[in-house]
Amino acid sequence: MTDTPRANPGYKRIATEEAFATREMLDHYLKLVQDGIDDPGFQSLWGFYIQSDAARPRFIRDHLVDLGEKRLAHMDESGIDMAVLSLTAPGVQIMTRDNAVGFSVDANDQLAEACRKHPDRFVGLAAAAPQDPQHAAKEIERGVTKLGLKGVIINSHTNGEYLDDEKFWPIFEAAQALDVPIYIHPRGMSRDIIKPFVEAGLDGAIYGFGVETGLHLLRIITKGVFDRYPNLKIIVGHMGEALPFWMFRLEYMHEATVRSNRYESMKPLKRKMSDYLRDNVYITSSGVGWEPAVRFSQQVLGIDNVMYAMDYPYQYNIAEVMALDNMQIAPADLKKFYQTNAERVFRI
Q: Which residues are catalytic?
A: 311
Strands (E) located in the chain = 14-20, 82-87, 122-124, 126-127, 152-154, 182-184, 234-236, 281-284, 306-307
Burial environment of residue 87 by CB neighbours within 10 A (0 to 12, 13 to 18, 19 or more)? buried
Backbone torsion region of residue 36, taken as left when φ is above 0, otherwise alpha when ψ lies between -120 and 50, otherwise beta:
left
SS3 309: coil
Give CA–CA dist 36/309, Å, rounded.
34
Angstrom distances, CA of residue 25 to CA of 94, 102, 151: 11, 11, 21
SS3 125: coil
Q: What are 19's strand-pairing partners?
A: 86
